[in-house]
Structure 1
Amino acid sequence: MGAAVDEPTSFAFLDGFADADLNPNPDMPISQNTFTFTEHDGGARAVYVSTFASADGRHQVLDMGVVEGSTSASDQIDDLIAS
């Protein structure tokens, strides 16, 4: 699927790993990611889905702390939108 934008309801992108020179690291997994936004109780609900080609790839990034990193990034969205 790659990158796509369906403003204002969703956007999608590939996420992977790179070295210090931003060269993709082929030894690390790549995930297809989609953010979807819907109205909910007078506000907005954001749903984030990350799909990996294999369970091994998913486990690899889970072991590296992807949940904590994604949560930290998501927790900054309200401040970003307000600025």
Structure 2
Amino acid sequence: ITAVDEPRSFEFDDGFADMDFNPNPDMPKARNVFTFAEHEGGTRATYVSTYASAEALQTVLDMGVIEGASSAINQIDGLVASGG
């Protein structure tokens, strides 16, 4: 976590690491921002992930980042509903 503006947003960097959690500098790193805003009686969450270059983005796209991120994000509703 690199920044928190409770209850509006938080930011974090995301990258790749080895089995001992040492960052892999040869792999792309993303800056990620989650923002929360009131919307039609509920909350709209917006997630933006930014890479340093088109090539870095293409690398993670080729690795399936959309499927992985979608799978993780789709778990949020269940966690919120369960209080977890």
Q: TM-score, normalised by structure 2?
A: 0.93
How many residue pairs match? The answer is: 82
User: Following TM superposition, by how much is the alpha carbon of 1:24 offset from its aligned partner in structure 2, in angstroms?
Assistant: 0.4
Name the Cα RMSD after superposition.
1.0
What is the alpha-carbon distance in structure 2 between the residues aligned to residue 9 and residue 69 of structure 1? 25
Aligned 1:1-83 pairs, distance under 5 A: 3-83=2-82
User: Following TM superposition, by how much is the alpha carbon of 1:79 offset from its aligned partner in structure 2, in angstroms?
Assistant: 1.3
Provide the secondary structure at the position in 2 that maps to 1:39: strand
Provide the secondary structure at the position in 2 that maps to 1:35: strand
User: Following TM superposition, by how much is the alpha carbon of 1:82 offset from its aligned partner in structure 2, in angstroms?
Assistant: 2.2
Structure 1: runs of 5+ lacking an equivalent: none
Q: TM-score, normalised by structure 1?
A: 0.94
Q: State the identity as a percent.
A: 66
Read off the aligned partner of 1:31 and give its amino acid letter. A
